[in-house]
Amino acid sequence: MNNDKLKIGLIGTGRIGRLHAEHLASRIRGAQLVALSDVNAESLAECAVQCGVLDTTEDYHDLLSRDDIDAIVICSPTDTHPTIIGECAAAGKDIFCEKPIGSNATEIDSTLAAVEAAGVKLMMGFNRRFDPNFARLQQGVQAGEIGEPHLVHIISRDPGPPPISYIKVSGGIFMDMTIHDFDMARFLTGSEIVEVFAATAVRIDPAIGEAGDVDTALLTLTFENGAIASIDNSRKAVYGYDQRAEVFGSKGALLADNNYPNTTTHMTTASVQRELPLNFFMDRYVDSYLAEMNAFVECINTDSTPPVTGKDAQAAFYAALAAKKSVEEHRPVKISEVC
């Protein structure tokens, strides 16, 4: 055993927690997954066997009191994030947390204040920044390959809507879906969002509207550097998981296409065909999840700033609030109105 490895405890062994656990257990060289926690004993046991981790507990507080754990990865339900982040910070543990950081501005402010007061690191799980396609776009923009960015277009369409039970507690499409795109827009432009204008509809399932949400959205954003972005969301793209982006600038454009199961194209006199895009986010973004966890471990081991901070999560949250207000009031909303 390498005693120099970062010792990690993981809270929450659901779908995304299990993916992170698998990566930490076998694919990230600078870390050692030493313990798991989940209130669901069955899920906890399955993850422990799958990842070869013997040390488990149904009470995550057991992880926070241990001197042999340096950092905590939080993959628990959304409504637990602020409390667990605060407790981890008080225990002196560095933190990786899946988005979102909280559900209201006061909660987020107090959570970030607790992290700052404790002097620990907090990295938020906006994994799409680490997708090779989108990372290449951002690198090209930052390197000046397309000159000054003028327009950004983000297409983000899920292959199918989540269960109604999830929609009822998710905080709405802007909080559980578009929030990734708000972060991506900031990432690609290298600038802060100034104003949001949103239009929405229920075009897929009336039950989504009855649950108080929408399933279709189109947003325009303006940025401090003068760039303009559009975000195109749908809960159901019948052909697969549609994840594309384009940045157009004064000297050209950069585009990132979907990922496919293979690169084969079938060409005949009748048609040109290829496979449908990957149909599940765990397939589409598996490389980005591995890359983001490597980045978290590296920032702790090198004592550097996390590449996605709590402030980044807060900025995406404010954009979501502005979008919600825009729909309610049928007008563009400045970020300064909801901060």
Report pLDDT digits (tens) over 6-37. 999 999 999 999 999 999 999 999 999 999 99
124-183 per-position pLDDT tens digit: 999 999 999 999 999 999 999 999 999 999 999 999 999 999 899 888 999 999 999 999
Count other C-beta atoms under 10 Å from residue 287's C-beta: 14
305-330 per-position pLDDT tens digit: 999 999 999 999 999 999 999 999 99
Instruction: Share the mean pLDDT of the chain.
Output: 96
For the domain bounded by 129-288+316-337, which CATH number is listed?
3.30.360.10
CATH architecture under which domain 6-120 falls = 3-Layer(aba) Sandwich (3.40)
Q: What is the pLDDT of residue 2?
A: 45
Domain ranges of the chain: 6-120, 129-288+316-337
The whole-number average pLDDT for the span 213-235 is: 98
pLDDT(281) > 90? no
**CB-based contact 198:323 (threshold 8 Å):** yes
98-118 per-position pLDDT tens digit: 999 998 999 999 999 999 999
Claim: this prediction has a pTM higher than 0.75: yes
Q: What is the pLDDT of residue 3?
A: 57
Q: What is the pLDDT of residue 131?
A: 97
Q: Which percentage of the chain shows pLDDT scores above 70?
A: 99
Of 38, 17, 44, nearest in space to 282 by CA: 17
- What's the CA gap between 5 and 70, in Å, rounded? 10
Q: What is the pLDDT of residue 4?
A: 82
